[in-house]
């Protein structure tokens, strides 16, 4: 039951909250929406531990990783769209599971926007990075994530997915409803930015993937954390 609830939160409830913010609140109460999404992003993480409460050191570790992801976005503020955020989220999800990846992705968007500025785009960013983290965790034990070539390809696709989701927000900001032809036009016009997303993900996954995964594995073994198998 918990497993289905986790998927329900990630793929139904959070997207529904994003759409409620657009069509019900007309992007005027986005602060309520991103707070609701933040709360929802915490639930899968805690639900993943079926037989115990997560240790304090596990929570501290994830908080530190989230802080690193936030800092990585801020440090690269001078390079629009070229940031290691998605790579950190993907690597975290591979190491600690889809629930952790979803939470780190969503909270990274929320917390980093304290610096970059909150707005109606924040819920879309939270869902986009959370979705990428969740899918990365789902694939963590497949050959795709154990081969640097396939991992890099996944990072490129993640950059595309992130951009496509954010382009929906751009289109809804222009139109009151979904206009497919305008959406395609926005995708085409924003493709240079999308390409930078895709390339940066590939570069940072190549540079950070193996070293960070080794460090995360060492931390898990040394401190005996995340022993429970996440569903």
Q: What are the tokens at 32?
A: 């309520």
Angle at 101 between CA 114 and CA 214, to 5 degrees: 110
* Cα(41)–Cα(127) distance, integer angstroms: 9
Mean pLDDT of 174-181: 79
Query: Which domains, from first to last, does the chain contain?
Result: 2-223 (1.10.1760.20)
**Residue 228: predicted pLDDT:** 55
Residue 30 scores a pLDDT above 50:
yes
Distance of CA 92 to the CA centre of its chain: 10
pLDDT value of residue 25? 86
Q: Are 135 and 86 in contact (CB under 8 A)?
A: no
Contact indicator for 73, 114 with CB cutoff of 8 Å = no
Confidence class for position 230, pLDDT limits 50, 70, 90:
very low
pLDDT digits (tens, 9 = 90+) for 184-221: 999 999 999 999 999 999 999 999 999 999 999 999 88
User: Up-side HSE of residue 16: CA atoms within 13 Å toward CB?
Assistant: 7
Question: Do 10 and 43 touch, CB atoms closer than 8 A?
Answer: no
85, two tokens: 């955020």
Report DSSP letters for 145-183, one per residue.
GTSHHHHHHHHHHHHHHHHHHHHHHHHHHHSSS--HHHH
CA distance 65 to 68: 5
Of the pLDDT bands very low, low, confident and very high (cuts 50, 70, 90), residue 229 is low
Cα dihedral across residues 74, 148, 10, 28: positive or negative: positive
- % of the chain beyond a pLDDT of 90: 71
The full DSSP string for the chain is -HHHHHHHIIIIIHHHHHHHHHHTSTTS-HHHHHHHHHHHHHHHHHHT-SSSPPPHHHHHHHHHHHHHHHHHHHHTTTSTT--SHHHHHHHHHHHH-HHHHHHHHHHHHHHHHHHH--STHHHHHHHHHHHHHHHHHHTTTSGGGTSHHHHHHHHHHHHHHHHHHHHHHHHHHHSSS--HHHHHHHHHHTHHHHHHHHHHHHHHHHHHHHHHHHHHHHHHHHHT-S-SPP-
pLDDT tens-place string over residues 56-112: 899 999 999 999 999 999 999 998 889 999 999 999 999 999 999 999 999 999 999
Cβ atoms of 17 and 31 within 8 Å: the answer is: no
Structure tokens at 216: 């995360």
Question: Tens digits of per-residue pLDDT, 141-161?
Answer: 886 667 888 999 999 999 999
pLDDT in tens, 109-138: 999 999 999 999 999 999 999 999 999 999
Asked whether residue 231 carries a pLDDT value surpassing 50, the answer given is: no
Q: Which pLDDT does position 94 carry in this prediction? A: 94
């Amino acid at each position: 039951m918990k497993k289905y609830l986790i998927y329900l939160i990630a793929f139904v409830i959070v997207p529904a909250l994003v759409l409620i913010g657009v069509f019900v609140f007309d992007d005027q109460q986005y602060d309520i929406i991103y707070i609701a999404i933040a709360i929802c992003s915490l639930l899968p993480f805690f639900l993943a531990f079926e037989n115990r409460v997560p240790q304090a050191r596990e929570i501290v570790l994830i908080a530190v990783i989230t802080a690193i992801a936030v800092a990585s976005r801020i440090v690269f503020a001078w390079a629009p769209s070229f940031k290691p955020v998605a790579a950190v989220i993907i690597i975290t999800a591979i190491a600690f599971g889809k629930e952790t990846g979803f939470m780190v992705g969503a909270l990274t968007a929320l917390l980093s926007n304290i610096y970059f500025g909150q707005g109606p785009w924040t819920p879309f960013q939270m869902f986009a990075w959370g979705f990428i983290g969740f899918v990365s965790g789902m694939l963590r034990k497949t050959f795709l994530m154990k081969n640097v070539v396939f991992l890099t390809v996944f990072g490129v696709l993640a950059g595309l997915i992130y951009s496509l989701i954010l382009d929906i927000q751009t289109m809804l900001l222009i139109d009151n409803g979904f206009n497919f032809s305008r959406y395609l036009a926005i995708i085409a016009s924003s493709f240079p930015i999308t390409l930078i997303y895709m390339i940066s993900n590939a570069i940072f996954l190549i540079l950070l993937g193996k070293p960070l995964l080794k460090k995360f594995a060492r931390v898990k073994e040394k401190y005996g954390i995340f022993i429970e198998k996440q569903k």
